[in-house]
Structure 1
Amino acid sequence: MKPLVAVLVTATLLLPAAPAGAASPIGLTSGFYVNPDSAPAVWARNNSGDSRAARIQSSIGSKPIARWFGNDANIATIVANYTGAADGQDKLPVLVAYNIPDRDICAGHSGGGAGSVGAYRTWIASFAAGIGTKPAVVIIEPDALNGMDCMTQAQKEDRLGMLLYATQKFQEKAPNTYAYLDAGNAGWTNASTIAYRLNQAGVANIRGFSVNVSNFYTTSESISYANSVNSYLGTTKPFVIDTSRNGNGHGTGWCNPAGRKLGVPAQVGGGAELLLWVKTPGVSDGPCGTAPTTPAGTFNPDLAVRLIDGS
């Protein structure tokens, strides 16, 4: 019996190329989709009398921000409706698949995920099917390849297998989607290790990889890191950068640190294939830093204003 790594790499190399009808989702659309129901937009709408509301809506709620999707039995319908709304406006939606079992197992702030390998495979296949032929960008499982160091070998093998399956499903079921496996950030796993894991997880099957998701490293630092990852991959893959909170660089700490600032809004190019707001500005990293009582994934208007002001 082959070792898991060999099996994963072999499976990756034997997969067919993208379907002949595949097209660039950037070329199929006329700009990025702005979700009218993002957390900052909803907060501003529901708190119009608050002195912070107009600033939050203008600086954050009105901008293209990725929507994160987790453990929902109706994921195919939810994704189909969301990408359909964007398609109806001729806009490009950015989605985040965030449901890997034992999610955030090492850090613990954003725990959860599917209950089993089988449940995840069903979920991610349904996610991809929900997009179908509509144009989209998908970030696959932030932190999943980096947050493995505390896992057992069996858990690591399961995770790599699930991510490989995910890349296969997007290749098969969502031909007009640019999918990117998450590769962490410039201050986390070294480039050679993450490149090895990206290859194991099937990066060859999809468009490329993402860096700096939910972190604060500058665009230039992130470009350097991504280029280093590419130098170890054995092939050059396009990459995208999360610029949502990198306007002042990374500073000290990763959990709601003070002094961070909004970065450049979503655009094509800028040193990467795309610069994106993947993390929603104002959504807490966990009950720590400048929001010690705000759980991970919860919008906090004070965090949002801090990012607007760079304080």
Structure 2
Amino acid sequence: MRKRPRSDASRQYVVTGHYEPPADVPRPAPAPRRRRRIPRWAWIALIVAGVALVVTAIALVVSLVMNGVQMLTARPPAVGTAFVAPDESKAARAAAAGGPADELAAAEYLAAQPTAYWLTPEQDPIGSVGPRILDIAQEARESDAALAVVVYGLPGRDCGNHSAGGLDEADYETWTTQIGNALRSVRDVKKVVVVEPDSLALAPQCGNVAERVEQLRGAIGRLTGTDTWVYVDGGHSNWLGPDAMADLVRQVVGPGVRGFATNVSNFNHTYDEFAYAHELSERLNGLHALVDTSRNGAGAPADGEWCNPPGRTVGDPSGTYGDDVVDTNLWIKPPGESDGPCNGGPAAGVWWPAGAVDLTRDATR
């Protein structure tokens, strides 16, 4: 059988295994490729997933911000802590009222100093005390500062001395409950609470230690909460000895108590109060402390006078000092408020222009 000669194209296929038609032979057009449409359900799933991703990212950012705020407020007070200077202070009210130049200068200076605000049932009664805390908390929030308050309304307060008063048992429970509820509602501000100055150190003299302990433990339970740093009465270095004072403090401390406050409304040098705080802390398993430096710039008078002694001056500003025991110093007693009707002063807690001028004579020159 005679073989047909192979074409150039067939020869190419034999050699290369790939057929290419001659250049003069028209090539068929490729079949059009069909575009696949994404189902509607897939689009919906993609959108939902995208929205979920955005929401998750926003939630993460918010969580990080809130955790950052909580970390800042959850830290105890320390050197450098900024405390609010309350607009409601008596110094601020005196400054707003005006008066002679020296009295106005003293009031304006003291109104600008970060100082604890004293909650008393006479000034902030049941029904008003909660809103008062919220107002001060808002001021602290706006100034990026910590809130510091003193709770001072115990039944039989001050054992009938110059600061006598307070509430009966039932009203005291209601009042401190309202304070605690307001404090717990504030979550973005550091809160420092000094509970009933002099209440423990005076108890042996008043003969009501057991009653005081019960009252204070109840109040502490109602006041404590998240990011609230509670300090009980610790007396001062020229009063009860560290052993006696530690025995009293030990009876009231429990969960939620950060430590004790010393030198409240007194004049002892900061160095002496730090040493005393360390002695107390050693007896109280490392409990921490605050030291009041509001009026100790000239130290305590030699005669031991505690009621409006002349010649005193304001001390170092809040947040200046601290160590491993003393969280920091704080102006707890508002300078310019009288200790009582003694040495020319008015009733306890009343604004005393002449006393304010004397205390700030070096600071306002």
Alpha-carbon distance in structure 2 between the residues aligned to 1:244 and 1:281: 6
User: Who is 1:87 aligned against?
Assistant: 141
The question of whether the paired residues in 2 share the 8 Å contact of 1:66 and 1:280 is answered with yes
The question of whether the paired residues in 2 share the 8 Å contact of 1:257 and 1:290 is answered with no
User: Who is 1:207 aligned against?
Assistant: 258
The question of whether the paired residues in 1 share the 8 Å contact of 2:81 and 2:319 is answered with no
TM-score (structure 2 length as normaliser): 0.72
The question of whether the paired residues in 2 share the 8 Å contact of 1:104 and 1:111 is answered with yes
The question of whether the paired residues in 2 share the 8 Å contact of 1:181 and 1:203 is answered with no
What is the one-letter code of the residue matched to 1:230? S
Alpha-carbon distance in structure 2 between the residues aligned to 1:286 and 1:26: 30
Q: Which moved more, 1:160-169 or 1:186-195?
A: 160-169
User: Who is 1:8 aligned against?
Assistant: none
CA offsets, 1:28-55, max 9 Å, x none? x9721111231122112211x5111442
What is the aligned counterpart of 1:297 among 344, 349, 357? Answer: 349
- Deviation, 1:188, is 1.0
User: Who is 1:35 aligned against?
Assistant: 86
- Deviation, 1:94, is 0.9
CA offsets, 1:83-140, max 9 Å, x none? 233224322111000011100005x100011112x32222222211111134211111
Q: CA RMSD in A?
A: 2.3
User: Who is 1:169 aligned against?
Assistant: 222
Alpha-carbon distance in structure 1 between the residues aligned to 2:130 and 2:149: 13
What is the one-letter code of the residue matched to 2:199? A
User: Who is 2:297 aligned against?
Assistant: 247
User: Who is 1:237 aligned against?
Assistant: 287
User: Who is 1:7 aligned against?
Assistant: none
Alpha-carbon distance in structure 2 between the residues aligned to 1:89 and 1:309: 28
Q: Which moved more, 1:124-133 or 1:136-145?
A: 124-133
- Deviation, 1:26, is 4.5
Alpha-carbon distance in structure 2 between the residues aligned to 1:244 and 1:99: 21
What is the aligned counterpart of 1:97 among 151, 155, 163? Answer: 151
Q: Per chain length, whose mean CA-contact separation is higher, i.e. which structure has more relative contact order (CA < 8 Å, sep 6+)?
A: 1
- Deviation, 1:58, is 4.6
User: Who is 2:40 aligned against?
Assistant: none
What is the one-letter code of the residue matched to 2:118? W
What is the aligned counterpart of 1:129 among 181, 184, 199? Answer: 181
- Deviation, 1:157, is 1.8
| 1:130-209 paired onto structure 2 within 5 Å | 130-132=182-184, 133=187, 134-152=189-207, 155-171=208-224, 174-203=225-254, 205-209=256-260
What is the one-letter code of the residue matched to 2:202? G
User: Who is 2:112 aligned against?
Assistant: 62
The question of whether the paired residues in 1 share the 8 Å contact of 2:313 and 2:360 is answered with yes
The percentage of counterpart residues that share the same residue type is: 30
How many residues were matched structurally? 281
What is the one-letter code of the residue matched to 1:179? V
**DSSP-derived class of the 1:179 partner:** strand
The question of whether the paired residues in 2 share the 8 Å contact of 1:25 and 1:92 is answered with no
4+ runs deviating over 6 angstroms: none
CA offsets, 1:156-188, max 9 Å, x none? 3222012112222333xx211111001111111
**DSSP-derived class of the 1:52 partner:** helix
Alpha-carbon distance in structure 2 between the residues aligned to 1:111 and 1:307: 25
**DSSP-derived class of the 2:101 partner:** coil
Alpha-carbon distance in structure 2 between the residues aligned to 1:112 and 1:218: 30
User: Who is 1:112 aligned against?
Assistant: 165
What is the aligned counterpart of 1:263 among 293, 315, 318? Answer: 315
- Deviation, 1:25, is 5.6
What is the aligned counterpart of 1:222 among 260, 273, 281? Answer: 273
Alpha-carbon distance in structure 2 between the residues aligned to 1:270 and 1:25: 12
Q: Which moved more, 1:131-140 or 1:79-88?
A: 79-88
Alpha-carbon distance in structure 1 between the residues aligned to 2:242 and 2:215: 22
**DSSP-derived class of the 2:278 partner:** helix
Alpha-carbon distance in structure 2 between the residues aligned to 1:151 and 1:62: 37
Alpha-carbon distance in structure 1 between the residues aligned to 2:108 and 2:350: 20
Structure 2: runs of 5 or more not aligned? 1-69
The question of whether the paired residues in 1 share the 8 Å contact of 2:91 and 2:108 is answered with no
**DSSP-derived class of the 2:357 partner:** helix
